[in-house]
Structure 1
Amino acid sequence: MTFNEGMQIDTSTTSSSGGRGGGGRGIAVGGGIGGLLLVVVALFLGVDPSSVLPQDQVPGMDTQGVDASGFDLSQCKTGADANAIVQCRVVATGNSVDAVWAQQLQGYQRPQVRLFTGSVNTGCGPADSAVGPFYCPSDRTAYFDTDFFDVLVDQFGSSGGPLAQEYVVAHEFGHHVQNLLGVLGRAQQDPQGPTGGGVRTELQADCYAGVWAHYASITKQESTGEPFLEPLSDKDIADALSAASSVGDDRIQKQATGRVNPEAWTHGSSAQRQQWFTQGYRTGDPNQCDTFAPGAL
């Protein structure tokens, strides 16, 4: 999906860092891969994640360090920059998602966005690049290390088109919507299993990403009066579906262990992730994203 070159990128809710730091405690909600890689592996192997990953310690982190300067956000000015620079694409996608949800959800409040490389200090504790993109409800911030998009292609087999990346951003913003609605905590009440709260929460965020895609090319930026993005092509949708499929629990489990164990799922299968993104995209109706309804899964 291509941004209209004349759109103006708003970086006011975005920050960037490239260093290390300690942080608070909380529960981060995963997006692309779905949380800390060690936690994912532990769940696959039937191990209690808390036994291998204390909340205040992530391997490879210098928790006494300080944040260093990161990406220069002054490079992100227009849609042309979003089309050319991946970090600007993340910020511009966030602008677009904000505009869509401002129309869909009364009282919508924008999340913060943090671009980082290496490691980052968050309200949910320290994290490093192995986390993949994630949302921390404690500080209402979506975190992105854009190197993940290369991992998505090279390690998980996703296509590398822009909408594959934008889907990831919209998914994390979907968790922010859940936080505003007060349903995000349901992910922890029954975190595992093919019909557990974790899977239902992640699939709803996929559906919310689809809702954004439904409106993305027709939602206009107030300051310029033109749509954020050009109309979606069939290839754009194929890219988003490819990304959704590549991070399905069954596919990741098969790659990591050679077997599939639905009882350890936290995000849903590849087919489910595609299904719920499509549901949101087809209907454009957040009310059709109730993955918690009886019989939804």
Structure 2
Amino acid sequence: MAQITAGLVKELREKTGGGMMDCKKALQETDGDLEAAVDWLRKKGLAAAAKKAGRTAAEGLIGVATEGTRGAMVELNSETDFVARNDKFQNIVNNLTAIALKNDGDLAAVKAAAYPGSDRNVEEELTNAIATIGENMSLRRAAGLSVSSGVVSSYVHNAVADGLGKMGVLVALESTGDQAKLDELGKQLAMHVAAANPQAISAEDMDQDTVERERTVLRDQALASGKPAEIVDKMVEGRIRKFYQEVVLMEQTFVIDGETVVKKAVKNAEAGIGAPVAVKGFVRFALGEGIEREESDFAAEVAAATSG
């Protein structure tokens, strides 16, 4: 068997971008044949994937699936919107969403799950897909909602196919009433969440650090106006109520009619549903939110390339 030197491993790494241990194994499997080792890495989906792993993936798709009392959602990122329109990419997102539904939206469990139609798990399949599709991809997040009795409803904004789009929302409603009418309400609430982007279901569910930070800012603003302390307290409480109306789901104005407060709209719907309705949770994924996108100056890149 040929001797696998550090220099040979280094050369293969530079040629393929593969990991050190992967390159060493490839050379061992091919008896030190460099070109055969390149092919071995490519077949395993390890060559191209490693080179692309550093590139920003902020495009892609949100996948959403519901099944009665359960729902799940995933975000799979790609580098370009063009790839997100690719049938193979969309099929991957559909498969990942189905896996997430079976695993209650647990991201670690999704990554470790067997990928359908292959002998690889999800993480390994994505590595393989990076090599074949030609772009970096990242399974960024997953989430799931469930209720003991009721429905989990969904909404997909800018849908490119059934259950696939640029934004996804799940809303969990608990009720023993008419399931079809309950789901109709759930879909309306999901559309509302997509548009209004609430931070919590109720004021009690709000992150208290966020509320106190807002309260401090409002108090400083009120004090700067020169008002007496007792007036400042009333001003702050009034502005906090307005803050809740902006960020708390049940206190927001329902976007469906532009008039009714959401908690009132839910209460009004109970008559047709035939039972009390409780909003138990919601999840909203907007594609690429929070990802720092690379900004490039194409003209400067061309100038730099030609000056050398």
Give TM-score scaled by structure 2 length: 0.22
Q: Which has the higher helix share?
A: 2
> Which has the higher Rg, Structure 1 or Structure 2?
2
Give TM-score scaled by structure 1 length: 0.23
